[in-house]
Amino acid sequence: MNKESVSEIQGICLIILFISGSTLALPTGSAAGSDLWLAILAALVLAIPLYMVYARLLVLYPGRDIFDILQDIFGEFFGKALGLIFIWFTFHLAVLVLRDQGEFLITLSLPETPMIVPMIVVTLLSIWIVKSGIETMGRWANLFVILNAPIPTIVILMLIPQMEITNIVPILYNGIHPFLQGTIDTLVFPFGDVVVFLMVFFALGPKTSTKKVFIKGLLWGGILIAGVSLAEILVLGEDLYLSTYYPNHNVGSKVSVGELLQRLEVITIVATLTSFFLKTSVCLLAISNGVSKIFRFNDYRVLVTPIALLICNFSYFIFDNSMEHYVWTSKLSTYYFFPYQIILPIIILIFAKMKKRKKLNSKR
């Protein structure tokens, strides 16, 4: 496992796809209304110090992941207990992401297909890529970014004639509270989800700058979703944007350039699904790695298949319908995930620095 290595550019690409995975399909920061693009930019700024916390933890313990770090700081018993908390968070996140993929596909493309079918397909693909190792995942992430990154830009440029600046002015028309709520929601989803990389970036190359990987991935991924969200609001308007499950798909269907280029939503679906797939795979890798560390398996790959099937099973049964899923995600998920993504990493970093300082003082 420790022989695996991910380059700086591959790490950045993984974070870009992880951030944009669900967000290209699902709206984020919608509580801010027409100011959601501004809320995303504000959340991006707030995420920079948070990502510095993530990066600092890995810098203090080079070549190790959060599970090794926790046991070093808090001892074996409490370290493993905290590790299980991170595993549960990542498992729940993977369940939600896989469910998002299933609902996305059957709603837009395969309405007559049972939702479990595309979920099983994605699960099998995730098993394959995780068993191939994080190096393979990094290469695929590099390729997916090269293929997917131009798509939102092209679609946005084609939609310029349909954009209405009146859809976003006056700024902060609804007041400061919705804007702040949208900012916090976006900080948690999708930016806070990147805490998962504390569990998989054991494979970053020794000469790789961990801070650059996190910050560059954040900036590129954040600018991407901010640009897409702004274009969606400008084209659809606040009311239509907030009344649809998948505004990105609606915007893609409005592209029309003569007789040649029309209804590019198929391309946006492909770009979204590849990001979904990478996000699910990273979560699966993190869970498998964590369980192997806590229960002392020699190789995480032996756990990949049973864990993936468990994720698939939970994803199918976790919600009775799409409305229940939407209500939980929009009303409760921010408060549920906030401690895992923000409070715990900050506390762990404080204890890590205290322990490092204590070791330095003892050597003097």
Hunting for tokens 């349909």 — which residue is that?
162
The 3-class secondary structure across the chain, one letter per residue, is CCCCCECHHHHHHHHHHHHHHHHCCCCCCHHHHHHHHHHHHHHHHHHHHHHHHHHHHHHHCCCCCHHHHHHHHHHHHHHHHHHHHHHHHHHHHHHHHHHHHHHHHHHHCCCCCCCHHHHHHHHHHHHHHHHHCHHHHHHHHHHHHHHHCHHHHHHHHHCHHHCCHHHCCCCCCCCHHHHHHHHHHHHHCCHHHHHHHHHCHHHECCCCCHHHHHHHHHHHHHHHHHHHHHHHHHHHCHHHHHCCCCHHHHHHCCCEECCCEECCHHHHHHHHHHHHHHHHHHHHHHHHHHHHHHCCCCCCHHHHHHHHHHHHHHHHHCCCCHHHHHHHHHHCHHHHHHHHHHHHHHHHHHHHHHHHHHHHHHHC
User: Could you tell me if 205 and 5 are in contact, meaning their C-beta atoms sit under 8 angstroms apart?
Assistant: yes
pLDDT score at 259:
57
Please report, as a single letter, which amino acid is at residue 103.
Answer: E
pLDDT, averaged across the chain: 89
Burial of 91 (0-12, 13-18, 19+ CB in 10 A): buried
pLDDT tens digit sequence for 29-46:
889 989 999 999 999 999
What's the mean pLDDT in 6-23?
Answer: 90
Hunting for tokens 């929009």 — which residue is that?
330
pLDDT score at 260:
56
What's the mean pLDDT in 59-70?
Answer: 93
pLDDT tens digit sequence for 198-244:
999 988 877 889 999 999 999 999 998 998 899 889 998 988 888 88
pLDDT score at 258:
59
pLDDT score at 189:
92
User: Could you tell me if 314 and 96 are in contact, meaning their C-beta atoms sit under 8 angstroms apart?
Assistant: no
- Whether residue 111 is preceded by a cis peptide bond, meaning omega within 30 degrees of 0, is no
Domain spans in the chain, listed from the N-terminal domain onward? 8-346
What's the mean pLDDT in 97-106?
Answer: 90
More confident position, 362 or 140: 140
Distance between CA atoms of 235 and 216, rounded to whole angstroms?
29
pLDDT tens digit sequence for 168-200:
988 988 899 999 999 999 999 999 999 999 999
Distance between CA atoms of 345 and 51, rounded to whole angstroms?
10
What's the mean pLDDT in 288-294?
Answer: 95
pLDDT score at 1:
45
CA 141 to chain CA centroid, Å, is 13
pLDDT score at 262:
57
pLDDT score at 263:
58
pLDDT score at 202:
84
pLDDT score at 121:
93
283 pLDDT above the threshold of 50: yes
50 pLDDT above the threshold of 60: yes
More confident position, 108 or 284: 284
Taking alpha carbons only, the member of 49, 14, 1 closest to residue 208 is 14
pLDDT tens digit sequence for 244-271:
888 877 787 777 665 555 556 677 778 8
From the candidate CATH numbers 3.20.20.105, 1.20.1740.10, 1.10.3260.10, 3.40.630.30, the one assigned to the domain spanning 8-346:
1.20.1740.10
Ranking 83-87, 106-110, 151-155, 224-228 by mean pLDDT, the lowest is 151-155
More confident position, 93 or 26: 93
167 pLDDT above the threshold of 80: yes
Ranking 96-100, 241-245, 287-291, 350-354 by mean pLDDT, the lowest is 241-245
Distance between CA atoms of 361 and 364, rounded to whole angstroms?
5
2 pLDDT above the threshold of 90: no
Q: What percent of the chain lies above the pLDDT cut of 90?
A: 59
3 pLDDT above the threshold of 50: yes
Distances from the Cα of 120 to the Cα of 101, 113, 114, 117, 137, angstroms: 11, 12, 11, 5, 19
What's the mean pLDDT in 277-283?
Answer: 95
